[in-house]
A and B are shown apart, each in its own frame.
Chain A
C-alpha cells in the first residue's frame, strides 16, 4: 500500500518537474527570441531615432545653415522654470566654421488645454526665432492641435520674431491685445504656446553666453563618436 503511495507521489513529482521545465523552456525561448531581435535591430533603431531627431532639428534650422554635427554639439540644461521643464533637457547648437549660428532648446508650455505642450524652440544667435515646433501635445483634435505643423501653419508665425519684435505687449494672442492669431474655438492652447515661446526667448537672452559655450565639459557624455579618433589615455600600452 505504502509502496503504491510512493509510486504515485513519485509520478506526481515527475509530472511537476516536467511541467516546470516545459514552462521554463518556453520562457527561455521567448526571452531568446526577443533578445536576438533586439540585438539585430538595435543599430537600425538607434540610427532611425537619430535621423528622426535630425529631421526635426533641420525643420527649424536648415541643414545648409550649419556645418557641425548638431547631435554631438549639445549641452545639458537643468530643469528650469522659465523653460517649463521639470527634468534635464538637451540643447543642440548649430555652428558654421567658428561662428555660432543658432541653438535649439526644449521648452514646455505647462498650461495647455489638456496638459503640457512640449516644444523645440530654435533661436538664432541674433535673438530672432529660427522656428518653433510642437513635438508632443494632447490638445483637442481639430481645435487645439492646430499648433502642430501637421495640422496648420500657425506655428510658423513665430519665425523671425524676437524679444523686440513684437515688444512685450505684443507677445500675446490677438484676443489679449497681442499680435499672434488664436484659433476659432481655441484660445487657451495658442495662449500657452505664445507665453512659453516668449519665456524661452527671455531665457535665451539671459543665458546666451553659456548656451553657446564650446563643448568640453559635456564632452564625456557625447564622446561616443570621437572615441575612435582620440587616443585614450587610460588604454594600456
Chain B
C-alpha cells in the first residue's frame, strides 16, 4: 500500500513529470516562467486544480458513463478553474493582476484532463488526490526552476515581485546579483523559455541514464542471489 503511494509520488515528481516527460501544459509553462514568482503562482494554481479535479473525478467514478466522461471532465475542470480565478481575483488581487490572464490557460493544460482520464477515473479518492498533488508539485517545481533560470540570466535577480505573493515580507526576499547587470534579453523572451526547457529535459535525461546504468549494475549483481 505504502509502496503504491511512493510510486505515485515518484511518478508525479520525476518519472512521469508533466512538464519534462509528458510535455503537457507547455502553453502556460512557456508563457509565465519569466520570473520565479510568476512560475510559483501558476504552479500553485495548477496544483490546486489538479488535486480538486482528480478528487472530484474519483468521487463520481461509480456514476460516470464512458460515453460522456470527456464532456463531464471538461465541465468539472472548467468550473474549478473559473472558481479559482474568481477566488484569486477576490482575495489575492495583486497576484491576480500578474497571473490573471494565465489562469484561464490552465483549462488548456492537457495534463489535467489527462490525469482525470488516465488515473482519477480508475483509482480511489486518496490515491487520486495524491496523484494530483504530486503531478502538480512536479509541474510547479519545473515552473519554478525554469522561472529561476530565466530570471537569473535575464534580469540578474531572483524572487523579484515576491511581495505580490507573500505581502510586505516578500519585499526583502528579492535577491539581486550584481549591481550593473544589464540583463540578457534572450532569456526573457519566448526562445529563452524553449531553450531553458530543453536544457532541463536534457539534464533529466542525463540523470536518468546515469541512474539506470547504476541500476543495471546493481541488478546484475543481485540477480544470482534473487534467483
Q: Which residues of A contact B (CB under 8 A)?
A: 18-19, 22-23, 26-27, 29-31, 33-34, 37-38, 40-41, 44-45, 48-49, 51-52, 140-143
- B97-A142 in contact (CB<8A): no
A40 to B63, CA, bound (A): 30
Does B183 reach chain A (CB closer than 8 Å)? Answer: yes
The chain B residue with its CB closest to the CB of A140 is: B185
**Distance of A151 from chain B, by nearest CB (Å):** 10
Q: Which of B50-80 contact A (CB under 8 A)?
A: 60, 63-65, 67-68, 71-72, 75-76, 78-80
- B65-A19 in contact (CB<8A): yes
Q: Which residues of B contact A (CB under 8 A)?
A: 34, 60, 63-65, 67-68, 71-72, 75-76, 78-80, 82-83, 86-87, 89-91, 93, 97, 154-155, 183, 185, 188-189
A45 contact from B34, B75, B86, Cβ within 8 A: B86
State whether A22 and B65 are in contact (beta carbons under 8 Å apart), knowing that A34-B79, A38-B86, A44-B91 are contacts in the complex.
Answer: yes
- B67-A141 in contact (CB<8A): no
The chain A residue with its CB closest to the CB of B34 is: A141
Q: Is the interface of B mostly helix, strand, loop or mixed?
A: helix
State whether A27 and B86 are in contact (beta carbons under 8 Å apart), knowing that A19-B65, A22-B63, A142-B154 are contacts in the complex.
Answer: no
- B63-A141 in contact (CB<8A): no
- A34-B71 in contact (CB<8A): no
State whether A23 and B86 are in contact (beta carbons under 8 Å apart), knowing that A34-B79, A141-B34, A142-B185 are contacts in the complex.
Answer: no
- B68-A33 in contact (CB<8A): no
The chain A residue with its CB closest to the CB of B73 is: A26
B87 contact from A19, A37, A143, Cβ within 8 A: A37
- A26-B34 in contact (CB<8A): no
Residues of A within 8 A of B76 (CB): 26, 30
A142 contact from B64, B80, B89, B188, Cβ within 8 A: B188
Residues of B within 8 A of A52 (CB): 93, 97
The chain B residue with its CB closest to the CB of A145 is: B188
A223 to B38, CA, bound (A): 39
